[in-house]
């Protein structure tokens, strides 16, 4: 769907300290999954970049290169609010200036969300650990958007934004 865009609120949510799970599949449709360590959305509200650590995402990077298929789930642990974004044209792209800082800010914000839940700061930060020299960026055009927060609306496809 060419008109699919994200709202300001959705962008703020996925660029915040949420848990990010990034998935693709190989030619046999066997899934590959990795943790994401940051996300940015372009000014057009359609182009999304998600950051992964290559040491943790080797199979995922191979699968994206072969299929272009990508599904990314964003979940805020303290509320369980969850959105899923999908793209069909995903590809690895060069890191943009400042994306290392994006990943570091994301790690800190994620840790801060976990602290009130009783997690110690070292554990909370470690769950989103990454090595800056291994960061890779995956870019895709938003094709589908789903509400995935547990409850009666989980799995509902959301309509294009403004």
CATH number at residue 48: 2.30.110.10
> Quick check: is 20 in a domain?
yes
pLDDT digits (tens, 9 = 90+) for 70-117: 999 999 988 999 999 999 999 999 999 999 999 999 888 888 888 888
If one counts the domains in the chain, the total is: 1
Handedness of CA 70, 96, 59, 63 (dihedral sign): positive
> Quick check: is 97 in a domain?
yes
> Quick check: is 156 in a domain?
no
Angle at 24 between CA 95 and CA 76, to 5 degrees: 75
Q: Which residues pair with 135 in a beta bridge?
A: 53
> Quick check: is 39 in a domain?
yes
Handedness of CA 122, 38, 57, 160 (dihedral sign): positive
Question: The pTM is what?
Answer: 0.91
């Amino acid at each position: 769907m060419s008109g699919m865009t994200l709202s300001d609120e959705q962008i703020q949510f996925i660029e915040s300290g949420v848990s990010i799970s990034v998935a693709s599949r190989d030619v046999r449709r066997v899934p590959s999954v990795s943790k994401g360590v940051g996300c940015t959305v372009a000014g057009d509200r359609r182009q999304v970049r998600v950051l992964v650590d290559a040491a943790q995402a080797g199979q995922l990077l191979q699968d994206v290169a072969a299929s272009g298929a990508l599904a990314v789930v964003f979940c805020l642990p303290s509320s369980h609010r969850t959105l899923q974004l999908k793209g069909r044209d995903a590809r690895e792209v060069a890191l943009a200036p400042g994306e290392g800082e994006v990943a570091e800010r994301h790690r800190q914000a994620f840790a801060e969300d976990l602290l009130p839940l009783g997690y110690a700061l070292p554990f909370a930060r470690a769950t989103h650990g990454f090595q800056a020299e291994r960061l890779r960026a995956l870019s895709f055009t938003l094709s589908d958007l789903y509400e995935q927060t547990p409850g009666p609306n989980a799995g509902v496809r959301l309509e294009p934004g403004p």
